[in-house]
A and B are shown apart, each in its own frame.
Chain A
Amino acid sequence: MAKHSGTKVSTPFWRDKRIIPIILQLLFVILVIGISWYFINNAITALKEIGIKLGFGFLKNTASFNIGESLIEYSATDTYYRAVLVGLLNTVRVSLLGIIFATIIGFIVGIARLSSNWLVQRLASLYIEIFRNTPLLVQIFIWFFAVFLALPQIKQAISIGNFHLSNKGITMPWFVANSVTTAWLLALFIGIVLFIVLWKVMLKIQVNSGKRKYPLLWSIAGLALPIVLTWLFTQQGPVNIENPVMGNFNFEGGYTLTANFLAIFLALTIYTATYIAEIVRGGIMSVSKGQIEASKALGVKGSTTMRLIILPQAIRIIIPPLTSQYLNLTKNSSLAIAAGFPDLVAISETINNQTGRAFQAVVIMIIVYLVLSILTSIFMNIFNKKMQIVER
């Protein structure tokens, strides 16, 4: 860039190609600093007038509000800090479950979209077109206000077996650990290790000898062996199942998925799955037709072609857009506030309403979402790299 102007001494500095960019950037910096100073100054004066202090010391104070559901112990006497943590965990919980289920549904629908069965293909497109073109928030409202809140009161809950459906959500049987749970977990762990080892060993023998060795049967046997042994020794199941019983006002025992959680979870899953389905379809279609034809020519059957030839190649194209969908889902989980699910945004909003500390509440939301976004990107980038290496 600076090749031509280097030798001439007579070039005035305002036409010097080395100086102009520096001056421009200096001007830009002065402009940005000036404008931000103006705004920040306004904010500081305004905050002083209302009498609100900056800083996060208030997080140690007692929160004194209740939270509907929480993964950790929480009561109104706990601190704001703990309330924020509860919100964060709820956000992570709903996003993580949403990601898992949206991926499963998305892959199924994406593959169905390419099915040779005309009706299945049409049904998949219908599903995608309906749910993709309606705002997520409208879907959340429909699930929460029009579906779950319209269900009968808890006293008249609709019961299917031990599953009870009411406007409070779904209450279902849940597991309770018993005296031999640890032994079972250990057995399960050994079983899984055996499964993997046997699968790898038998597959290698099969490939090397060219004879059928049934690696799947062997590994299932490996998984079953410790489990059967544990059962013979303990004569007890791994966990006891506890059925919900109607108490005075509520079901006691079992596990309740609240209507708030279900509304946001179902809406997020169904909405994001449509995007994932389109990504999967695009990925599969990008695998060249020759690959499928070659696999057919070798006599590989349809499902195996999908599993071993098409998906491994498609997955590389699928992962980057899938990552951004996961990020979108995590960010969209902030809409939980609309269904009264106490996620991070809802709790920050409560803190703001209670203490008037708008600035801090917003900063908490921003930091958490930026960190979550960065973490998801890093994780998916690692996964992506791992997938790419397999190629060559």
Chain B
Amino acid sequence: MKTNMETGTNLPTSSPPKSTIGILGWLKQNLFNNWYNSILTILSVLVLYFALKGTLTWVFTTAQWDIVADNFRLFMVGQFPVEEIWRIWLALSLVSLLFGLSAGIWRGTNLHLSVVLMGIYLIHILASFTSVNTKMWLGINIAILVVSFFTGPRIPKHKVVTILGWFLAFPITIFLVNGFGVLPEVSTNLWGGLLLTLLISIIAIVFAFPIGILLALGRTSKLPIIRYFCIFFIEFVRGIPLITVLFMAMLLLPLFLPEGIEINNVLRVMVACTLFTSAYMAENVRGGLQSIPNGQYEAAKAIGLNPIQSMTFIIMPQALRAVIPAIVGQSISMFKDTSLVAIVGLADILGIAQAVKSNPDYLGRIMEAYLFVALAYWVIAYSMSYASRRLEKQLGVGER
């Protein structure tokens, strides 16, 4: 700590001492402020240098990425019939449109996510292995993203339209992917790759949410039988690993159904993931319910609302708002956990990597395939957790 005394007493306002400003000052303060920090810094630099050097040389010289480039379509959509792939592109365009609109209207986090999406499109449009058809669709998506970003705020009632669009996006996507007879049906057996990973996690999260709310209400209910039933279900599911639930769905579900009714593997896994997530959702929602002070319940009663009304209009909105970050966190972990379906033999993005591995053409290049899968998961999971952190700050949940 140097004071004005050293730099000259005749100056009333002197600049801060040289050792605390500029790059050198910053280095001294943050990296070399005492002897053990200096040692730590040097060690960290060494670790970072060797790790970066090793990784970068491997990525750009040793690694042969054709295992990913050749099988890119498999990694993305699995065995989805080529002539129907336009439907997935259409669904993706809808998502781009909604991202563009949200980015234009709300800016902030939405804008950041849209930029990431744009980056992903650009990388693929520039990559050498994507076909002309793919490049065309990517170009359309980029155009949609940009146009909707600029026109979004000018559309009348833009906020209502966009939010409605997000709610409709899920059923429309499912309709487009499956077809349901209106379009030629693509059975769930053919869904695969990243598409399957995303669909399983989205379906699990969307359906687990209402079930979780019901379970949480049941667990806080005054009726003993319902309460114990919910406690039993929640604690049972939370006590066992997801892989056991998946095995249960694969091995036992067919036994429990009457003869003649068969549901295929993808649906079984979706049921299992939904039930599994709903137990965790229920605990999150219960946390929110417990954070609501008793006064809220009493006030709702005092103004003559019946229990259902007070729950829907007073308690739930507050409880859910308080646990949004926890729910997003749960969604991220569900998204990562969908990789487990590869163990029970589904062709999600990891399952595709496992399948490609057995091709003798790519012997010894499995690291490239796994790293690509890891990167795909990482980008999505990180974007979600980034959005969640921003949301948490905006809501100020953690700061009360």
Hey, which bits of chain A sit against chain B, CB under 8 A? 1, 21, 24-25, 28-29, 32, 39-40, 42-43, 45-47, 115-120, 123, 129-130, 133-139, 141-142, 145-147, 150, 331-332, 334-335, 337-338, 345, 349, 352, 358-359, 361-362, 365-366, 369-370, 373-374
Contacts and interface: CB of A to CB of B under 8 A. Distances in A.
Contacts of B248: 362
A379 B365 CA distance: 45
Interface stretch (B72-80, B112-120, B177-185, B220-228): B220-228
A21 B236 CA distance: 25
A145 B255 contact: no
A15 B229 CA distance: 25
Contacts of A130: 378
B257 A42 contact: yes
A123 B258 contact: no
Given A133-B377, A134-B377, A42 B258 contact: yes
A337 B44 contact: no
13 contacts: A25-B223, A25-B226, A43-B256, A45-B259, A118-B30, A119-B30, A123-B44, A133-B381, A136-B339, A138-B370, A145-B357, A145-B366, A365-B244
Interface stretch (B33-41, B126-134, B156-164): B33-41
A28 B229 contact: yes
A182 B354 CA distance: 50
Contacts of A370: 236, 239-240
Contact of B256 (A39, A338, A365, A373): A39
Contacts of A133: 332, 336, 377-378, 381-382, 385
B45 interface: yes
A118 B226 CA distance: 53
A366 B247 CA distance: 11
Contacts of A137: 339-340, 342-343, 350
B370 A334 contact: no
B48 interface: yes
Contacts of B258: 42
A282 B224 CA distance: 37
Given A331-B242, A352-B251, 15 more contacts: A39-B256, A42-B257, A42-B258, A42-B259, A129-B382, A134-B378, A135-B337, A141-B354, A335-B241, A345-B247, A349-B247, A358-B252, A359-B255, A369-B241, A373-B240
Most buried by B among A45, A150, A366: A366
A362 B370 contact: no
Given A120-B44, A135-B339, A137-B340, A365 B374 contact: no
Nearest to A121: B30
A28 B377 contact: no
A334 B236 CA distance: 16
Contact of B244 (A24, A25, A42, A369): A369
Contacts of A358: 251-252, 255
Contact of B374 (A123, A142, A335, A374): A142
Contacts of A373: 238-240
B353 to A, nearest CB: 8
Interface in B212-236: 222-226, 229, 236
Given A28-B226, A334-B244, A337-B243, A141 B350 contact: yes
B250 to A, nearest CB: 9
A365 B247 contact: yes
B222 A123 contact: no
A345 B223 contact: no
Given A32-B229, A134-B381, A370-B239, A46 B255 contact: yes
Nearest to A40: B256
B225 A29 contact: yes
Nearest to B338: A135
Contacts of A119: 30-31, 40-41, 44-45, 48
Contacts of B377: 133-135, 138
Most buried by A among B41, B47, B337, B339: B339
Contacts of B40: 115, 117, 119-120
Interface of A is mostly: helix
Nearest to A145: B366
A39 B367 CA distance: 44
Contacts, number: 159
Nearest to B224: A25
Interface residues of B, number: 57
B240 A331 contact: yes
Contacts of B223: 21, 24-25
Given A117-B31, A119-B44, A334-B243, A138 B339 contact: yes
B364 interface: yes
B56 to A, nearest CB: 15
Given A42-B256, A332-B241, A358-B252, A123 B48 contact: yes
Interface in B63-95: none
A122 to B, nearest CB: 8
Interface string B350-383: 1001100100000010110011011001100110
Contacts of A40: 256
B339 A146 contact: no
A304 B41 CA distance: 22
B63 to A, nearest CB: 11
A176 B313 CA distance: 70
Contacts of A366: 240, 244
3 A-B pairs with least C-beta separation: A358-B251, A118-B30, A146-B367
Q: Which of B244, B337, B340, B374 has the most CB of A within 10 A?
A: B244
Nearest to B244: A365
B241 A345 contact: yes
Given A47-B255, A133-B377, A142 B30 contact: no
Most buried by A among B33, B241, B248, B254: B241
B48 to A, nearest CB: 7
Contacts of A39: 256-257
Contacts of A25: 223-226
A42 B225 contact: no
B251 A362 contact: yes
A145 B363 CA distance: 11
> Which residue, B31, B371, B374, has most C-beta atoms of chain A within 10 A?
B374
A365 B354 CA distance: 25
Contacts of B30: 116-119
A138 B240 contact: no
Nearest to B229: A32
B384 to A, nearest CB: 9
A361 B251 contact: yes
Nearest to B349: A138
B242 to A, nearest CB: 8
Given A28-B229, A142-B370, A117 B37 contact: yes
A129 B381 CA distance: 10
A142 B239 CA distance: 27
B340 A116 contact: no
Nearest to A149: B366
A347 to B, nearest CB: 13
